[in-house]
Amino acid sequence: MGQRPLTGSESGELSREVPQWALRDSSISRELSFKGFREAIGFVNEVAVVAEAQDHHPDICISYNKVDLRLTTHKAGGLTRNDFIMAAKIDAIEASK
């Protein structure tokens, strides 16, 4: 059986661990800006490697040098701990730049 969705209070508590992510009903999101398109794509490619390894894939929208990321667990119908784990891993990628 898959993970159960988190309650609102559980999501709120975990969101403190990834303060750059915005908590919305059943997802968390973050927008990042880069020097240019090439850097944005490079970042997305690094996220893709981690997402594949975790088998947890964010929704990604790229607009020139901006990358919008959204995490939710579709199978659970909302946020799970995996979303916050993946958010922290994405933050670590960004911090390494």
Identify whether 25 is part of a domain: yes
Identify whether 1 is part of a domain: no
Token couple for 85: 């784990």
Range of the domain at 18: 8-95
Name the pTM for this structure. 0.94
User: What's 4's DSSP letter?
Assistant: P
Mean pLDDT, residues 28-49 taken together:
98
Identify whether 49 is part of a domain: yes
Give the pLDDT score at 1: 46
Q: For position 49, which CATH number holds?
A: 3.30.1360.20
Please count the other Cβ atoms lying within 10 Å of the Cβ belonging to residue 43.
Answer: 20
Identify whether 41 is part of a domain: yes
Mean pLDDT, residues 64-87 taken together:
97
Identify whether 3 is part of a domain: no
Domains held by the chain: number = 1
Q: For residue range 3-35, list pLDDT tens digits in order.
A: 899 999 999 999 999 999 999 989 999 999 999
